[in-house]
């Protein structure tokens, strides 16, 4: 048995994050948490999974996100610890330093039983955590939207219904309560405030971003939050015909992984600039990333 991730002795853990429960999406949650909290933030995983299996997955994740030099030597690596045991047991939670945890993420635990019973397990985990820590931020993942009030009443700070963007939302609200709800409005299907990509009219080419923002605000009732610059190999028709689905995925990764202003999108050399300066000059291949505001502003006379 791999002992590197096994620890049942009580320890005075502080300023760390706890992830209670396990499913195949937990490594993505950990990756997003490291991206926002920093590689030095310790993460303790508490679940009844087999140490050898959990340890292998954590080893792979640790290797993937460790900072290495040109020769492959590790310069910095995340601190992971696996405690085998039920997150509903007080002794197990104490050994994970629950009383000193910065925040806890409770996922729909699939290693402890069928998914249909995950919300009931989450309820018990929340109750157990609150007995040891009255003030910690507890973010709970639920499978059934109808159980949100049930788990909220147990003491959860934030509730997130399971979906494909779950790692981002779970981490967002654990770091800043309320951010997950805001992100859902930006990226949620059917949301009136959903982020979108808009072609910049020819009349704005060679104008600065301040003028572009004013035009979109007054004429389209949209707030420009960024610029997408397509590679030179694309024609203007290609730009106008490109889809917007990838924009949502990119912005989510950007929020979870980086604070940089300019990043290259994975497909080719497309550039995405979030909140560029007002003196940025709009080019022929630029499109705007916008959020609908719902109202146009009257033009100044």
> Mean pLDDT for each 10-residue chunk of the chain (301 residues)?
45 84 91 83 93 93 90 90 94 92 93 92 96 91 90 90 61 61 61 79 94 93 89 41 46 45 43 90 92 63 43
What pLDDT, on a 0 to 100 scale, did the predictor assign at position 257? 44
What pLDDT, on a 0 to 100 scale, did the predictor assign at position 130? 95
The domain that holds 171 is classified in CATH as 3.40.50.720
Q: 247 and 177, same structural domain?
A: no
Question: Quick one: tokens of 82?
Answer: 């696996």
What pLDDT, on a 0 to 100 scale, did the predictor assign at position 52? 93
- Domain residues for the domain of 43 are 17-187
> Which residue, of 147, 167, 187, is where some domain finishes?
187
- C-beta of residue 163 within 8 angstroms of C-beta of residue 170: no
Spatial distance between the Cα atoms of 91 and 170, rounded to a whole number of angstroms: 25
Q: 167 and 58, same structural domain?
A: yes
5 within domain boundaries: no
- C-beta of residue 99 within 8 angstroms of C-beta of residue 133: yes
What pLDDT, on a 0 to 100 scale, did the predictor assign at position 163? 65
> Which residue, of 144, 169, 187, is where some domain finishes?
187
- When divided into structural domains, the chain yields a total of 2
225 within domain boundaries: yes
- C-beta of residue 80 within 8 angstroms of C-beta of residue 5: yes
Q: Hey, which bits of 85-174 come out as E strands?
A: 103-106, 137-142, 158-161
């Amino acid at each position: 048995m791999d002992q590197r991730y096994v620890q049942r002795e009580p320890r005075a853990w502080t300023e760390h994050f706890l992830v209670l429960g396990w499913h195949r999406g937990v490594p993505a949650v950990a990756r997003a948490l490291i991206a926002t909290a920093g590689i030095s933030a310790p993460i303790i995983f508490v679940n009844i999974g087999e140490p050898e299996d959990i340890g292998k997955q954590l080893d792979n994740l640790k290797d993937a996100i460790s900072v290495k030099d040109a020769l492959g030597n590790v310069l910095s690596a995340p601190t992971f610890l696996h405690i085998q045991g039920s997150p509903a047991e007080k002794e197990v939670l104490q050994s994970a330093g629950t009383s000193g945890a910065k925040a806890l993420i409770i996922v729909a635990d699939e290693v402890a039983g069928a998914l249909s019973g995950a919300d009931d397990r989450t309820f018990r985990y929340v109750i157990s955590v609150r007995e040891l820590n009255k003030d910690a931020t507890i973010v709970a993942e639920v499978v059934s939207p109808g159980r949100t009030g049930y788990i909220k009443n147990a003491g959860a700070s934030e509730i997130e219904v399971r979906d494909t963007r779950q790692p981002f939302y779970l981490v967002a609200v654990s770091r800043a309560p309320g951010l997950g709800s805001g992100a859902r409005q930006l990226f949620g299907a059917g949301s009136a405030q959903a982020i979108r990509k808009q072609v910049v009219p020819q009349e704005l080419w060679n104008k600065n971003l301040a003028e572009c923002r004013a035009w979109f605000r007054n004429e389209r009732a949209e707030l420009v939050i960024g610029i997408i610059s397509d590679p030179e190999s694309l024609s203007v028709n290609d730009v106008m015909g490109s889809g917007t689905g990838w924009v949502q995925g990119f912005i989510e990764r950007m929020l979870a992984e980086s604070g940089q202003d300019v990043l290259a999108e994975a497909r080719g050399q497309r550039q995405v600039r979030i909140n560029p300066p007002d003196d940025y000059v709009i080019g022929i291949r630029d499109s705007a990333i916008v959020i609908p505001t719902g109202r146009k502003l009257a033009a100044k006379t």
